[in-house]
Amino acid sequence: MMLPFNGPRSLFLHISFHLILLSLLIVLAVGIPAVLYIQFETEKQIWAQIEQGARTSYALFEVKEFELANSAKLVAERPSLQGLIQLDDQLTLTSYLSTLKDGIQSDSITVCNQAGKILVETHHFEDLHLCPRQNFLTIIQNPTEEAWLFRTHPILINEQEVGTAIVGKRIDDEFAAAMRTDIGMDYSILKDGNFLATSLEYERTVLHGLDFQKEAHNSLTDNNQLQFTIGDKPYYAISFPVNNDGLTGFLALPTGEILKSAQKQIMLMLAGIFTILCISIFLSSLIAHRISKPLEELSSQAIRSRSDFIKTPISTNSKIMELIELADAYEHARLDLSQKVGQLQREQDWIEHLLEAIAEGILTLDSENKILFFSPAAERITGWKKEEVLNNPVDDYFKLVDKDGIFSGNLPSPGEKYFLNVELALKRQATLSISGAEFFPSQASDSQIALVFRDVTEEVAINRLLGQFLSNVAHEFRTPLSALFASVELLEDQFPEFNSGEVMELIRSQKLGVLGLETLIDNLLESSSIEARRFRVTPRSFNIEEIISNVEQTLAPLLEKHGQHLIVKIPLDLPLVFGDPRRTVQVLINLLSNAIKYGPENSEITLQAYERERKVRVMISDHGPGISPEYRQEIFTRFNLPRTENERAKPGAGLGLSVVRAIVEAQGGEVGVEDNPGSGACFWFTMRLAKSK
């Protein structure tokens, strides 16, 4: 843990900071979960209370239905009603039912006969046929929408059913207010978001502006939970289905006081936590002071009594002779020691700088071939750190490769130089040039061996590669020159005996040889200019179709020689490209020459060009052996020669494809190789489009 400031820090600050930090973390670890728990429990209790209210509302609604059903039964079993029905006295029956309606606290009573016709009713309902229906809850347009609950009971006279008594109860604000009194929460009945009955004491326009369009689930456990605010008064509510006709019950609980109480609890708890934190900070400072004070006193005493023996002069103000002589003796010893230490330090610095500047690695071995000294250059060459190798056998770190025996058994004699292939750190193999010498250090009873070595891996590889390159170049020159010499010799000796066709055949052979030499020389020159960083292109706008046509004519004799056929596919509307025409010819000749060389006899080579992603893409496909995926990353580098079993396709100088990549990239394009569908390889490169004038 870093302190939030730099520079030296006292022990008191260290202890205080960490104790305060620990106190803060403890307070946060306790306070944050406590706040979250209070909020969670508050909401949990609110929703539990509302869910309990919903269950209570269901029960109360069932009680209301039961009471209404009893009222219907009471009406149907009244002897007076049965007598009036038998007398068929409509006026008296209507007056009787009106009086009875007020007595049973219902809003309507309807009597139907056995045929389903209304005999008498205390409240007329438009477009509602009551008589054929049984117990139901419905919406009536009267003239606004109203919710009514109806319960029926048969009327029996002498145990024969003569009609039906239907008692109705209006579900209105008065009904909702009664439910609120019993439940303790605001109760509402909604139809498609419209409040038919509510105990909320707000205008209907305010209530209709609230978003209660969620569909209620079919069980109490899945009620829709809602939160809304009217004015500055928050409510938690749930909605639930009342029947299958789209009526929704709505139970709302004002939570302002509950939430304020929870916030008050949180604030009190935070105040207590802050008080505890302040006390913890004070106690932390007090503890830190008590712990650090004795240590600071010890530190002050140590500083006062400490002396830099070499740099700090020693003197005394004492008048005692012995103390003065002792101080003078210590001062002379300090000066002599300071001079010798300075001289040794300078010599050590000089030796370290010398060893650091030497590129060759140096190590020394004792009689048991254990490493006693390991220079910085030896660390750089081998990858081993001095701390890893000192006093350990040299054979554990220098392991011979491609040779029997151990490293210590193949060391050069004094004055000799050996080249050894060894395995170093991270299993890296290297070729080391090693020379040895024997010496006898002072204070050592046995002689030691000093080895000076350097990494010549790249030099050996370059020499090997250079020899291979010279051999390939000599072969590339010798083959066409031998053919040219043979053709010239035939023409010189037997020209009069040759007909025109044979002469043209010899001339064609000479032309092919000259073309091969020209291509090789161009690649050598371009490779040399690339290596010397003198490679340049001269771009301009040109028609690549003309370039391809010229290259096709140039390589026609070579194609004819091997019985191969070049298929060129170029759209008529191919745009102009921007590049160096002469260099582009060289790219095409190199790629087509390789396709001819590695493709089988009597096969087809396809050259196509098309526009793609604001560039012209040129593809050359053959049916040769193809390029293996692991070799594609290196094929465009110098001196990388493909392995092939085609006797006709002997590797060249290894420069052509590297020159191709240099030219294409200098022109702002890309080059690559991929599999040709079926067999062979497909080399491609891109060129920028010329800007339209």
* Statement: residue 50 has pLDDT above 80: yes
**Burial of 544: CB neighbours in 10 Å, binned 0-12, 13-18, 19+:** buried
Q: What is the mean pLDDT of residues 572-600?
A: 89
Pseudo-torsion of CA 83, 88, 89, 93, nearest 10°? 60
Global pTM value:
0.39
Contacting residues for 182 by C-beta, under 8 A, at least 6 apart: 56, 60
> In this predicted structure, what is the pLDDT of residue 632?
75
Question: pLDDT band for position 425 (50/70/90)?
Answer: confident
pLDDT band at 543 (very low <50, low <70, confident <90, very high): very high
Structure confidence at residue 2 (pLDDT): 45
Say how far apart CA 258 and CA 489 lie, in whole Å. Answer: 116
Please give the order of strands across the beta sheet that includes 371-374: 371-374, 361-365, 448-455, 429-439, 417-423, 399-400
The radius of gyration of the chain's CA atoms, rounded to the nearest angstrom, is 54
Residue listed under structure tokens 């300071």: 338
Per domain, the residue ranges of the chain are 77-171, 174-254, 358-455, 536-689
Nearest Cα to Cα of residue 86 among 121, 103, 111: 111
Residue pLDDT, tens place only, 489-518: 556 655 666 666 666 665 665 565 566 566
**Segment 85-96, tens digit of pLDDT:** 777 777 888 888
CATH of domain 77-171: 3.30.450.20
pLDDT digits (tens, 9 = 90+) for 310-360: 565 656 565 656 556 656 676 676 677 777 877 877 877 777 777 676 778
Fill in the amino acid letter for 410.
N
Residue 469 has pLDDT above 70, yes or no: no
Rounded CA-CA distance 243/173 in Å is: 19
- Nearest-CA neighbor of 102 among 124, 123, 85? 123
Q: What is the pLDDT of residue 215?
A: 39
* Residue 111 pLDDT > 80: yes
Domain 536-689 CATH (choose: 3.30.565.10, 3.40.50.150, 2.60.40.10, 3.40.50.300): 3.30.565.10
What does the block give as tokens for 229? 């605010």
Same fold, 77-171 and 174-254: yes
Is the domain spanning 358-455 CATH 3.10.20.30? The answer is no
What pLDDT shows up at residue 290?
66
CB-based contacts of 256: which residues, under 8 Å, 6+ apart? Answer: 232, 233, 234
d(CA 620, CA 99): 108
Question: pLDDT grade, residue 534 (50/70/90)?
Answer: low
Share of the chain above pLDDT 90, in %: 7
Fold classified for 174-254: Beta-Lactamase (3.30.450)
State how far the Cα of 592 lies from the Cα of 685, in Å rounded to an integer: 13
Whether the Cβ atoms of residue 186 and residue 251 lie closer than 8 Å to each other = yes
Least trusted range by pLDDT, from 62-76, 123-137, 187-201? 123-137
